[in-house]
Amino acid sequence: MSKITVIGAAGRVGSNAAREAAGCLKHGDELVLMDIPLALNGLRGIAIDIKDAALTDAMIVATDDRKEIAGADIVVVTAGKPRGPGMTREQLLLENSSIIKGIGQDIGKYAPCAKVIVVSNPMDIMAYVLYKSMGCRPNQVTGMGGALDSRRYRKFLAQEFGCKIKDVEGAVVLGAHGEGMVPITSTVRIKGKKPNDMEKVEEAGKQAVVAGKTMADFGASAYFGPAPAINSMVKAILADTKEVIPSSVLASGEFGIKGIFIGLPAKIGKNGVEEIVEIGITPAEKEKLKDSAKSIRRAMEPIEGADPNAN
């Protein structure tokens, strides 16, 4: 029997992630939708709607009680505040860090063996905060960012080359989940071959970097797109597929980076992060990845407990 808890499930990202997760569960399994007391009534309605949509035999529970985390195999964390008018990035970082710290402490208390997928922004830093506050092994915590960014990159590559998405392979985005992301160009293959027109590859990468901002400019935000990306990680853990998925993980020297959570190729299985895979990238791409790591490190400075030795 499997138990998945989604914290922040009343929000758009959380509810869509829960809907996707419901499709992975069977009779005897449990999906817990968790949010703050103010959102509980709406959350109960979401639970009914998800049950209808998934037609699952799994039990779906709506709650505001953190004790219901107990026994969870997987916890998906989407909780956090959006950036409000007049709020600086540092203020948002500190507010969400406080929220995530409390969640991490509760997961550590009630489900210390759970595998945690952090989605809350700024994601790489929130994954670090949750890891530190949960007091767990590094493999238990990962962040969802690269999975979504890589899906976008693959889509844009197909558009640039006028081919089907299934014809695109090696679309990998590493680094920070944000403006510092690094679309890897050297691994891209179109219909099994290295593309001749690298300008199109570069253009697809640029579009992937600004995809979130593009939606924001239209007054929208991403909540459909993240759900299947999150679910790819959920399925990899439940089925122990050991699929390599770009994920925010605690680097310990891979690609010359250590001490921070950053998007790297990670083999995901029943133990969470089974292995960080050092795929072959060019020296220039490696330098961009190191620069991305530095940007995360700078952004982490307001957070107490940040590793002073991180590269």
Q: How does pLDDT run across 195-241, given as a tens digit for each residue?
A: 999 999 999 999 999 999 899 889 888 999 999 999 999 999 999 99
Residue 305 pLDDT class (50, 70, 90 cuts): low
177 is catalytic: yes
Share of the chain above pLDDT 70, in %: 96
Mean pLDDT for 173-187 is 96
Residue 71 pLDDT class (50, 70, 90 cuts): very high
CB atoms under 10 Å from CB of 90, counted, come to 11
User: Choosing from 177, 235, 288, 297, which is the catalytic residue?
Assistant: 177
Tens of pLDDT, residue by residue over 203-213, are 999 999 999 98
In one-letter notation, the amino acid at residue 271 is N
Q: Which pLDDT value is given to residue 105? A: 98
Q: E strands along the chain, which residues?
A: 3-7, 30-34, 59-63, 74-77, 115-118, 141-143, 168-169, 172-175, 181-184, 189-190, 243-252, 258-269, 272-276
Give the separation between CA 30 and CA 159, rounded to whole angstroms. Answer: 39
Using the predicted structure, report yes or no on whether residue 85 has a pLDDT greater than 60. yes
Using the predicted structure, report yes or no on whether residue 259 has a pLDDT greater than 80. yes
Using the predicted structure, report yes or no on whether residue 267 has a pLDDT greater than 90. yes
Predicted model pTM: 0.95
| Domains of the chain, earliest start first | 3-143 (3.40.50.720), 144-311 (3.90.110.10)
Give the separation between CA 68 and CA 110, rounded to whole angstroms. Answer: 8
Q: CA distances (Å), 42 to each of 20, 33, 122, in order?
A: 19, 11, 26
Q: Which pLDDT value is given to residue 308? A: 42
